Amino acid sequence: MQRNFKYSKKNLRHWLIRPNRTKMNTNQSQFLPILSIIILLSACVNAPSPTPTAQISVHDFPDILNIKGVPDSTTDRAVFAFSDLGAWHGYALPGDEDRKHTGSFVGPFIMTQDNGIWLSDCLSKMNIVDTKTQKTINLQAAEVTANTAFPNRLYQSFQLKNPALLVETQLIFVSNRTAVIELVIQNKSKDDIAELAIQWTGNSFLKEVSFSPHPEGVLIDFGKNKNIGWISAHSEGDIDFDIQPEQYTIQTPHEQLKTNEIWKTYLSQSFCFSEKERENEAVILEDFFANPNSFFTKNKNRWNENIAKITQNLHPEFDTEAHRKIAVKCLQTLHNNWRSPAGFLKHDGLFPSYNYEWFNGFWSWDSWKHAVAIARFDPELAQNQIRAMYDFQDEKGMIADCVYRDNSIEEHNWRDTKPPLSAWATWAVFEYSKDENFLRELFPKIEKYHNWWYKYRDINQNGLCEYGSTDASLVAAKWESGMDNAVRFDDVKIIPNDLQGGSMNCESVDLNAYLFAEKKYLAKIAKTLAKPDKAKQYESDATQLQQAVHKRFYDEESGWFFDFDLANNAPIKIFGSEGWTALWTKLATPEQVAQIKKTMTDSTKFATFIPFPTLAADHPKFKPDGGYWRGPVWLDQAYFAIQGLKNYGYETEAIQFSHQLFDRLEGLKNDDLPIRENYHPHTGKGLESNHFSWSAAHLLMLLEGGN
């Protein structure tokens, strides 16, 4: 049964502040970000001319990523989404040739439901209505002059002939729960236009979703999911609501536009996890409506500052327009994967990829890498990315492999952890933040995690650790390495321990190289915190471990570091990316590096078209397309290789290989394709998931010459 509701302005919540009505010149519109859908209507607002706040502006980077298209189902992941500020939802632009959605924004894609789905193809479709004739103006006949995804906002503009109107609309996020759409209409005709109204209408892909009236607008009910969503409108006059369970329509009061007069409207969509969050959003919206220009200015300045931070420190070899675009693509990728605290996740952090359905959580190995890159433009977010995983440290000291907002969707994985890189990440973040309190907070936690490895992952207590699992399963032990199906693990078995789970029957060179680096970073942290005795002890322990690694893992005949088979008391002679981890951690001797470099720069092994695959290209099991850790190029491993060469003075080679990555990876340079999880070593084709965070993180590090 259809239900009609008519809300007077005085029935709206007090925080929906009425905007001022003033005159405004052409091209003086400004834009705001929000996660709630609120339509604010006001006529003839006068906005100041924008003043550049940085030499390089966010507006210099249109369509760095292709955020265009319309999903045909809830699970259509071929359409990508834009989000900001840690929001749990995002939007897209219609395709350039799509006139059906002109003036509207696609989505939202919501990560509050399942593992990320499209709630609608267009939850709030915009129409302009001639209230005198009661006819909807045909927007499909408009001339579209812009359909652009900037890193900080989505923007459209188009012109109509009858009536002659210039229309601009844009979407930004104003909080981590609310997104706002701004609509600006200018009368370009010689005559006054008598009566226009804006109409927003929408429905959902999901059968369980229904719409109902609410004092703040249209309530979105998700059924069993208790999350809160709503769409709101505000006007000086009465707003008409036509709300049915399956769809809704909001129509604003009509406006009269004189020649060249401008009319602004705002629409907001909000998605929250609790009533308390909804109340917080009410306060944010109250501030927004009191001074919307300040939110737009803040949005622009924040992005300009972040772009300045990542572009002003580029290595001289990469200080070009093309490389700056790569840097901004990395920045935008990281922002799109940023999620704010919700459910079990108590701190901000990044998904590996919002676009891949099984990556809607935080992974420990990924998090350490994300933090190092994020520190360059947002040290606070970088700190929280580290805290987000240490929130899941158990009483033994172990950190979970991956964790999720909602365990009814996915369970936290406590079957294994991931390689120990948190001390590296913590020190790298400190180098940007200079926050000793952060070091003081993390130091005992890192120590506890470091000691855990030697208690639970050193099966023979010889000071050299193995990867393992808490449930003594081989599959989880392989996950713990981060290199799930690496060839070096093809013949390993699990040895149960007397404490919990078990270890592989091989000692891994990369794990022990990481532990060596962790001792060095713990020594630095201890020294900074005025703990000289601890610093001295960690330095001494690092020296002992270095000697043990040289003796156990380096093969003089092959000139390579290999894992060691405990069952056969012999090296596992697989040439893989783990072999150059000792260069990145500065554990190898210059003489060893000279031999290792020969293999790394051999075109039949690792100096492929895209350099540094995870397995030597001449190995019988080399599988460059779809092999995952059996041949494709992973950018974290490529970064370790390049930075490792640089550590030993091979700067020319490091720059050369970096150029090959930037110039040859599919979609990276002068293109709008996403950054991928890994790449084909012979063609540069992008493989596996799109918009992959740690790939973006390591590219950003390489652009600055490493860390």
Q: What is the pLDDT of residues 198-249, one digit of tens each?
A: 999 999 999 999 999 988 789 999 988 888 899 988 766 788 899 999 999 9
Name the one residue in this structure whose structure tokens are 């890498």. Answer: 369
CA nearest to 67, candidates 85, 87, 84, 81 = 81
pLDDT of residue 653: 98
The stretch 252-267 carries a mean pLDDT of 88
Q: Cα separation of 51 and 28, whole Å?
A: 12
Confidence class of residue 113 from pLDDT cuts 50, 70 and 90?
A: confident
Does the pLDDT at position 54 exceed 80? no
Q: Is 90 exceeded by the pLDDT of residue 134?
A: no
Residues 286, 317 within the same domain? no
Q: For residue 22, is it within any domain?
A: no
- Whether residue 80 sits in one domain with residue 145: yes
CATH number at residue 324: 1.50.10.10
Q: Find the largest Cα–Cα distance for the chain.
A: 91
Closest to 634 in 3D by CA, of 591, 692, 674? 692
Three-class secondary structure of residue 85 per DSSP: coil
- Ranked by mean pLDDT, which of 126-135, 205-214, 632-641 comes out on top? 632-641
Q: Do residues 391 and 286 both lie within one domain?
A: no
Contacts by 389-397, CB closer than 8 A, 24 or more apart: 389/349, 389/362, 389/364, 389/422, 390/422, 390/442, 390/445, 391/345, 391/346, 391/347, 393/445, 393/448, 393/449, 396/452, 396/455, 396/456, 396/500, 397/448, 397/449, 397/450, 397/451, 397/452, 397/455
Q: Average pLDDT of 96-100? A: 93
pLDDT attached to residue 50:
37
Work out the pLDDT band at 290, boundaries 50, 70, 90: confident
pLDDT grade, residue 568 (50/70/90)?
very high
Mutual angle of helices 693-703 and 321-336, in 10-degree steps: 150
pLDDT of residue 9: 33
Same domain, yes or no: 263 and 331: no
To the nearest 10°, report the CA torsion of 308, 310, 312, 317. Answer: -150
| Nearest C-alpha neighbor of 61 from the set 670, 698, 595, 489 | 670
Query: For 472-491, what is each residue's pLDDT tens digit?
Result: 999 999 999 999 999 999 99
Tell me if the bond preceding 108 is cis, omega within 30° of 0.
yes
Q: Once rounded to an integer, what is the mean pLDDT over residues 427-448?
A: 98
**Percentage of the chain with pLDDT > 70?**
92
Residue 512 lies in a domain: yes
- Span 659-686, average pLDDT: 97
Q: What is the pLDDT at residue 236?
A: 66
Structure-block tokens of residue 132: 């005198």
39-43, 284-288, 419-423, 528-532: least confident range: 39-43
Average pLDDT, the chain: 91
Tell me which range, 136-140, 149-153, 286-290, is most confidently predicted by mean pLDDT: 149-153
pLDDT at 21 over 50: no
Q: Rounded mean pLDDT of 534-542? A: 98
- What's the mean pLDDT in 380-393? 98
Residue 446 has pLDDT above 60, yes or no: yes
Clarify whether residues 281 and 426 are in a common domain: no
Instruction: State yes or no: pLDDT of 72 exceeds 80.
Output: yes
Which neighbouring-strand residues pair with 269?
179, 231
Q: Is residue 160 situated within a structural domain?
A: yes
Q: Sorting pLDDT into bands at 50, 70 and 90, what band is 33?
A: very low
Q: What is the DSSP string of 113-150?
A: STTSEES-SBSSEEEEEETTTTEE--GGGSEEEEEEEE
pLDDT score recorded for residue 668: 95
Structural domain includes residue 209? yes
Question: Is pLDDT at 29 greater than 50 in this prediction?
Answer: no
505 in Cβ contact with 494 (< 8 Å): yes
pLDDT of residue 18: 32
Indicate whether 339 and 265 sit together in one domain: no
Determine, yes or no, domain membership for 20: no
> Regarding beta strands 228-234 and 37-43, do their DSSP bridges make them parallel or antiparallel, or are they unpaired?
parallel
Structure tokens at 387: 């805290």
Q: Is 622 helix (H, G, I), strand (E, B) or coil?
A: coil
Residue 16 pLDDT > 70 = no
Q: Where are the alpha helices (DSSP H) in 375-485?
A: 379-390, 422-433, 436-456, 474-481
Looking at residues 165-173, what average pLDDT do you find?
Answer: 97
Tell me what pLDDT residue 128 has: 95
Question: Are residues 363 and 295 part of one domain?
Answer: no
CA within 13 Å, CB half, 288: 34
pLDDT of residue 409: 84
Does the N-terminal peptide bond of residue 163 adopt cis geometry, omega within 30 degrees of 0?
Answer: yes
> pLDDT band at 39, cuts 50/70/90?
very low
Q: Does residue 281 sit in the same domain as residue 344? A: no
| Residue 634 and residue 691 in one domain | yes
C-alpha to C-alpha distance for 443 and 523, rounded to whole angstroms: 10
Beta partners for residue 502, in sequence order:
469, 496
Is 36 within the bounds of a domain?
A: no
Q: Is residue 293 domain-shared with residue 355, that is, in the same domain? A: no
40 occurs within a structural domain: no
CB neighbours of 130 closer than 8 A, spacing ≥ 6?
136, 137, 163, 195, 196
| Distance from C-alpha of 635 to C-alpha of 488, rounded to nearest angstrom | 19
Q: Which amino acid is at 512?
A: N
Q: Residue 246 falls within a domain, yes or no?
A: no
- Residue 479 dihedral angles phi and psi, to the nearest 5°: -55, -40
State the pLDDT at residue 703.
Answer: 98
For residues 91 and 130, membership in a common domain is answered with yes
Determine the Cα–Cα distance for residues 149 and 227; give it in Å rounded to an integer: 28
CA 474 from chain centre, in angstroms, equals 31
The confidence band for 131, taking pLDDT boundaries of 50, 70 and 90, is: confident
Weakest mean pLDDT among 99-113, 279-293, 396-410, 588-602: 279-293
**Is residue 557 over pLDDT 70?**
yes
Among 4-18, 126-140, 611-625, 687-701, which is the least confidently predicted range? Answer: 4-18
Q: Are 473 and 401 in a shared domain?
A: yes
User: What domain range includes position 456?
Assistant: 313-703
The total domain count for the chain is 2
* Mean pLDDT (whole number) for 646-667: 98
SS3 of residue 305 by DSSP: helix
pLDDT higher than 90, residue 382? yes
pLDDT of res. 276: 92
Name the CA dihedral angle for 161, 162, 165, 169, rounded to a multiple of 10 degrees: -90
Residue 161: CATH number of its domain: 2.70.98.50
Number of neighbours of residue 521 by Cβ within 10 angstroms:
23
The answer to whether the CB of 250 falls within 8 A of the CB of 233 is: yes
